[in-house]
Amino acid sequence: MSAVRSLRKLGRAALLGPSPRHALPDAIEHVAKAHRAHHPGADLDALRRAYVLAESSHRGQTRKSGEPYITHPLAVTLILAELGAETTTLTASLLHDTVEDTEVTLEQVRAEFGEEVGYLVDGVTKLEKVDYGAAAEPETFRKMLVATGNDVRVMSIKLADRLHNMRTLGVMRPEKQARIARVTRDVLIPLAERLGVQALKTELEDLAFAVLHPEEYTRTRELIREHNAGADPLAGIAESVRAVLREADIAAEVLIRPRHFLSVHRARAKRGELGPCDFGRLLILVAENADCYAVLGELHTCFTPMMSEFKDFIAVPKFNLYQSLHTAVADTGGRVAEVLVRTHRMHRVAEAGVIALGDPHRAPGASGADPAGEAAAADDGRADPTRPGWLERLLEWQSHAPDPDTFWAELRDDLAQDREITVFCTDPGGPGRTAALHLPAGATCVDAAYARYGAAGHALVGARVDGRLAALGTVLSDGDSLQLLMAPEGTSGPSPQWLEHARTPTARIAIRTWIDACAEDGERSEGAGGQARTARPAAAREPALPPAAVPDGPPAVPGGPRRAVQPRQRPAAVAGMPGAPVRLARCCTPVPPDAVVGFAVRGGAVTAHREGCPTVARMTAAGRETVAVRWQDSGAGCRVTLHAESLSRPHLLADLTEAIAAEGAAVVSAEVEPPREHRVRHTYTLRLEDAGELPRLMRAMREVPGVYDVVRATSPQP
């Protein structure tokens, strides 16, 4: 039932056919047959004439593979015919490379085939390198998108053209393969997705996957091969579903739809290991919309539904025309099958997207209009699907793009907007546990940390992407493997710069909240006259200062001027927990000599409240244990700033801060510079009770694995 598979088979048949010169009818026979299957009354004369012109003008040209050039436009046209494209598209598709590569002129095409065919051929004709140089590719895409704005069939042809070129990419040099695969991934696949052309999108994804991630591709292929060698339990579930639907008197086709390679790869990454039911989904096709819900009702009654998997894309269609019900059910043996339920029409639109909609210039309902297109367009008053909103917006901004580079960069960015990437996140400490994170394209390590750990993402201090150390702002790509290096919770926090790296609302909101809270803390503490023990977002570098550190110097308040805090004139609160930083609660702002009581909060810090504060009563009632806190004259001791030069590794920061705490020193502030060549410099400002303890402290720090030097800073940190 896979359209992709049947496309491949027919594509191969066309290529293996006899030489087109001597077998003209055979050469377009497949195209004609596929076309007639969707459009029984189609007039094939234009197709025949287009073939004759294309074949004669490309004659003598060969593809890189050595095959006659005409095999390419034929294969492209067959792809479109299979998806149900109407005759004008197919005519233009046969001619799509003539103006670019042969003596045929656009005027000639217009004269012989009419304005529409001329427009489509012009739309997909590349701009010359001679005229545009390096800008030829971006400018060609710009031109193509503008043409698509007037007639979406331009992009249909381009997508099919790219699919055939990707299928035959193997003859190219590896660098060229990778370059083409990247443009396919960044531009063509998102366009196919947005235009709803699932059949082209999935095959393009697998072809790009094979080029860009050959090892994962091979591993996935092996998994699928192993799976196919055994019995498919989905077959048994499909049989039970058929019986249930027969019993309920609902006419339905129940099919097993294998996942494509990239989908298997993603599913495996998401679930760790794949069960035998995970290599495909059940596809249930029915006649009417209402039947979809009837099927759903039976499924959810006769099997155990996994309600979290239920999605109604009929009531709430995706932006790209896609409609279906998604659910998952478990049979009596506990085997879970994912199920898609849709009508035949929805299925066709899901596979072929805008290609199923036919001629965009023909009013819906006009005679000869494509029946599927008519139904889709008339359905529910949705905006014209051949002129979707994203395309309007794209056409608007592209007209302001000052140069081809800007256009090209913005285009990929724009198309990435609602694309999702999957990165595979391994806990460095854990026993190789990997979680798949689904992030919007453009997401960085910062986004990944918050997606993985929620607000505890604040503790991010470093990251490895595909095994290599990476800056926190590194933009992740689909399929990256990621290790997030986390400080012990509460010892590190985000800097305002992180906002520049955060793309996801989750991360942005968490960071903003943190920074606002820090700023407010600083103000309150200062106003209360107590020594400010505030969290302090790092001003200059990431990762940030520990939130619970005790700044003796002026705290940097984001967005505000630095303000002086009188150092050590007032007693500070210290907890009965060695080394635990203390924050003065904002609800009651204790000042000496108030009696104070503390509660351990986030990552070992302690919040000090006045004894009579209602929060204390509430927290005690809630079973929270109090921590002894007292005021202390902090005039004693000394401050020192140390640089620790180390080889970067997971948990380094944690181990170093632990060694420091074990020596009885308090961390006032800490900074970690972005690693360079696997080396990293940590800078700590510490407070010691006694300067005489310094040599022992430095020795202890040098003994932390990975640390190769600890030196005193020549000037103290600000």
Q: How far is the CB of 651 from Mn ion (least distance, A)?
A: 53
User: Using the rule CB under 5 A, is 216 a contact of Mn ion?
Assistant: no
Q: How far is the CB of 110 from Mn ion (least distance, A)?
A: 20
* Between 75 and 582, CB nearer to Mn ion: 75
Q: Is 580 exposed, middle or buried (0-12, 13-18, 19+ CB in 10 A)?
A: buried
CB within 8 A of 143, min separation 6: which ones?
Answer: 123, 127
Residue nearest to Mn ion according to CB distances in the complex:
161
CA distance 366 to 209: 42
For every residue of 94-117, DSSP letters joined together read: HTTTHHHHSS--HHHHHHHH-HHH
Active-site residue identified among 55, 82, 97, 100: 100
Q: How far is the CB of 408 from Mn ion (least distance, A)?
A: 21
* Between 98 and 607, CB nearer to Mn ion: 98
Dihedral pair phi/psi, residue 56, rounded to 5°: -70, -35
Judge contact between 615 and 585, C-beta under 8 A. Answer: yes
CA distance 253 to 271: 29
CA distance 375 to 382: 12
Helix (H) or strand (E) holding 253: strand 253-258
Closest CA to 37 of 352, 385, 362, 361: 352
Region near Mn ion per CB under 5 A, out of 92-100, 208-216, 230-238, 703-711: 92-100
Q: How far is the CB of 96 from Mn ion (least distance, A)?
A: 6
CA distance 545 to 493: 6
Q: Is 661 exposed, middle or buried (0-12, 13-18, 19+ CB in 10 A)?
A: middle
For every residue of 467-507, DSSP letters joined together read: TEEE-TTPBP-TT-EEEEEEPPTTS----TTHHHH--SHHH
CA distance 449 to 455: 9
* Between 97 and 542, CB nearer to Mn ion: 97
For every residue of 156-194, DSSP letters joined together read: HHHHHHHHHHHHTGGGS-HHHHHHHHHHIIIIIHHHHHH
Judge contact between 445 and 474, C-beta under 8 A. Answer: yes
CA distance 110 to 99: 11
Residues in contact with Mn ion, shown as a per-residue x/- string from 149 to 168 under the rule CB under 5 A: ------------x-------
Taking each helix axis as running N to C, give the angle between helix 71-82 and helix 87-94, from 0 to 180 degrees, rounded to the nearest 10.
Answer: 160
For every residue of 2-27, DSSP letters joined together read: -HHHHHHHHHHHHHHSPPTTT-HHHH
Helix (H) or strand (E) holding 515: helix 505-528
Q: How far is the CB of 182 from Mn ion (least distance, A)?
A: 19
Q: How far is the CB of 124 from Mn ion (least distance, A)?
A: 8
* Between 79 and 437, CB nearer to Mn ion: 79
* Between 168 and 534, CB nearer to Mn ion: 168
Residues in contact with Mn ion, shown as a per-residue x/- string from 51 to 90 under the rule CB under 5 A: ----------------------------------------
Q: How far is the CB of 82 from Mn ion (least distance, A)?
A: 17
* Between 161 and 552, CB nearer to Mn ion: 161
∠ CA 447-453-457, rounded to 5°:
60
Residue 35 token pair: 């076309």
Query: How many binding residues for Mn ion (CB under 5 A)?
Result: 2
Active-site residue identified among 67, 101, 116, 379: 101
Q: How far is the CB of 7 from Mn ion (least distance, A)?
A: 16
Amino acid at 329: V
Q: How far is the CB of 70 from Mn ion (least distance, A)?
A: 11
101 given a catalytic annotation:
yes
186 given a catalytic annotation:
no
Given 3-state DSSP classes, what are the helix, strand and coil percentages for the chain, each rounded to the nearest 5?
Answer: 50, 15, 35
Judge contact between 460 and 543, C-beta under 8 A. Answer: yes
Q: How many C-beta neighbours within 10 Å does residue 423 have? A: 25
Please report the sign of the dihedral spanned by the C-alpha atoms of residue 317, residue 318, residue 323, residue 328: negative
Q: How far is the CB of 379 from Mn ion (least distance, A)?
A: 34
* Between 50 and 605, CB nearer to Mn ion: 50
Q: How far is the CB of 161 from Mn ion (least distance, A)?
A: 4
Strand runs labelled E in 549-706? 572-575, 582-584, 596-601, 605-610, 626-632, 638-647, 666-672, 679-688
* Between 80 and 487, CB nearer to Mn ion: 80
Peptide bond before residue 174 is cis, with ω within 30 degrees of 0: no
Judge contact between 61 and 54, C-beta under 8 A. Answer: no
User: Which of 97, 216, 663, 693 touches Mn ion by CB under 5 A?
Assistant: 97
Residues in contact with Mn ion, shown as a per-residue x/- string from 268 to 287 under the rule CB under 5 A: --------------------
Region near Mn ion per CB under 5 A, out of 95-103, 185-193, 476-484, 634-642: 95-103
* Between 179 and 639, CB nearer to Mn ion: 179
* Between 76 and 574, CB nearer to Mn ion: 76
Judge contact between 388 and 194, C-beta under 8 A. Answer: yes
Cα distances (Å, whole numbers) of residue 601 to 466, 544, 608: 35, 19, 10
Region near Mn ion per CB under 5 A, out of 1-9, 97-105, 528-536, 606-614: 97-105
* Between 97 and 205, CB nearer to Mn ion: 97
Q: How many C-beta neighbours within 10 Å does residue 224 have? A: 18
CA distance 223 to 498: 39
* Between 100 and 403, CB nearer to Mn ion: 100
Q: How far is the CB of 214 from Mn ion (least distance, A)?
A: 25
Interacting residues with Mn ion (CB under 5 A) = 97, 161
Q: Which residues are known catalytic residues?
A: 100-101
